[in-house]
Amino acid sequence: MVYEQVIKAAQEKYGELLRRQLERVEDLKNEGDWIDFSKLDKLIIGVCGGDGIGPYICSSAQKVLEFLLADKLGSGKAEIRIIEGLTIERRAEVLKAIPDDTLAELKKCHVILKGPTTTPKKGDPWPNIESANVAMRKQLDLFANVRPVTVPELGIDWMFFRENTEGGYAVGSDGINVTEDLAIDFCVATAQGTERIIRAGFEFAKKNGKNYVSIVTKANIIKTTDGRFLTIAEKVAEEYPEVKWDDWFIDIMTAKLIDPARRSDFRVFVLPNLYGDIITDEAAQIQGGVGTAGSANLGKRYAMFEAIHGSAPRMVAEGRGQYADPCSMIKAVALMLSHIGETEKARKLDMALDVCVQFEKKLTMTGRSTGSTGDEFAQYVMDTIRRDDLEKVWQAHVDKAKASAK
């Protein structure tokens, strides 16, 4: 038979993929519990700037982090380590998504603040290596991609729990070109990987009194993996009788996010990887653009905090790197603070960001010399945090915006 040879070659590759995923399942079965940051003698915070605008916005965000954690950094309860090597040049040189020495340094940290990194695509001057984000999520097992989106005056208070290590991303760089005419990719859902993200969403809802979880899939079409996602959600939900939940298909949910009559009802979303990727850009746009959104990548051992957008190499090529908006990275700092138990500092930072970006807007970022620099913006945020009347100012703005939104 004329196909036999290509089928056999594809089967061999497929077998290898299956073996790796089955081994992964064994690791998942043995994973430990969440690390308790409050029990650490010293918290190690890695900072890696990435490339493109990454080092610029990451360094502005680091200033805010140092300002807010001054007490712990001063007393030696926390340490910031700069981690080199996560640039596209270095990654292309060693042909690895993350160079080995960089990965080893990352693994010595507890939490990481990471600037955007360039993801080569077909046609770029770079070798087509795997995305550093995706590799880091997999290698450090950062399975929960947690992305908040809030627009107080519209009553929007959303938290997205995107599965971060499976779905279409798990073997996204290992699809099979069976022949010149046939290409196949794979979508992965494990029982363990699915359950832990759904549980994380429900736990968050329960602990934060959000009380409403929406599971988003396309289980009517992608019946096996998304079907499994939904079945496991039904089981996990039984353990959280106090949390209301429902399920949606991704297409209609995409529409509902821009439905003014409905969207403020939603609170917590749990979704497979690719849907989570797409819908969080849409949600961020509603908040003011992807430049305003931060992202937490949480695992039980490590956590990484980043912007949700890319590295904008063109800005740097045009000499505008210092004008890139660091807002998303500063938002990532707030998520980090809240993850390490500094909830009050995180709350202040969030309020200050709302005041600076949405309400008071004393500085404008234009991405060019017509606007402020990232460091000036970071300074503005820090000055705002210092204000004694921050809470009052924030509340007054929210009330006013709510009234005018009606």
Closer CB to ligand IPM, 131 or 254, in the complex: 131
Closest CA to 275 of 307, 260, 253: 253
The CA distances from residue 378 to 56, 185, 202, 256, 333, in Å, are 11, 42, 34, 34, 12
Closer CB to ligand IPM, 68 or 86, in the complex: 86
HSE-CB at 344 with a 13 A cutoff on CA atoms is 1
For ligand IPM, which residue of 113, 134, 149, 283 counts as binding (CB under 6 A)? Answer: 134
Segment interacting with ligand IPM (CB under 6 A) among 12-20, 50-58, 130-138, 320-328: 130-138
- Amino acid identity, position 404: S
Position closest to Mg ion via CB: 277
Closest CA to 137 of 117, 122, 120: 117
Place of tokens 């450090």: 140
Task: In angstroms, give the least distance from the CB of 172 to ligand IPM.
Answer: 9
Q: Is 119 a binder of ligand IPM (CB under 6 A)?
A: yes
Interface positions, 216-255, toward ligand IPM (CB under 6 A) = none
Closer CB to ligand IPM, 308 or 315, in the complex: 308
Task: In angstroms, give the least distance from the CB of 308 to Mg ion.
Answer: 6
Task: Using CB under 5 A, count the residues that bind Mg ion.
Answer: 1
Task: In angstroms, give the least distance from the CB of 166 to Mg ion.
Answer: 16
For Mg ion, which residue of 51, 141, 226, 277 counts as binding (CB under 5 A)? Answer: 277
Instruction: Please give, one letter per residue, the 3-state secondary structure of 131-195.
Output: CHHHHHHHHCCCCEEEEEEEEHHHCEEEEEEEECCCECCCCCCCCEECCCCCEECCCECCHHHHH
**Rg of the chain, C-alpha, whole Å:** 22
Select the binding partner of residue 254 from ligand IPM, Mg ion, none (C-beta < 5 to 8 A, by kind).
none
Interface positions, 265-294, toward ligand IPM (CB under 6 A) = 277
For ligand IPM, which residue of 17, 66, 131, 195 counts as binding (CB under 6 A)? Answer: 131
| Farthest-apart Cα atoms in the chain, separation | 79
Place of tokens 């603040």: 113
Segment interacting with Mg ion (CB under 5 A) among 6-14, 64-72, 83-91, 276-284: 276-284
Closer CB to ligand IPM, 288 or 371, in the complex: 288
**CA gap 253, 249 in Å, rounded:** 6
| Residue 82: strand, helix, or coil | strand
From residue 61 to residue 100, the character string flagging contacts with ligand IPM as x (rule: CB under 6 A) and all else as - is: ----------------------------------------
Closer CB to ligand IPM, 172 or 371, in the complex: 172
Segment interacting with ligand IPM (CB under 6 A) among 75-83, 126-134, 192-200, 331-339: 126-134
For ligand IPM, which residue of 59, 87, 133, 217 counts as binding (CB under 6 A)? Answer: 133
Task: Using CB under 6 A, count the residues that bind ligand IPM.
Answer: 7
Task: In angstroms, give the least distance from the CB of 13 to ligand IPM.
Answer: 23
Helix axes 327-339, 54-68, angle to 10 degrees: 40
Position closest to ligand IPM via CB: 131
Task: In angstroms, give the least distance from the CB of 281 to Mg ion.
Answer: 5
Closest CA to 34 of 143, 189, 109, 190: 143
What strands lie across the sheet with 268-271, from one edge to the other?
Answer: 78-82, 43-48, 111-114, 303-307, 294-298, 144-151, 156-163, 268-271, 212-217, 244-249
Chain positions contacting ligand IPM, by CB under 6 A: 119, 131, 133-134, 277, 308, 310
Chain positions contacting Mg ion, by CB under 5 A: 277
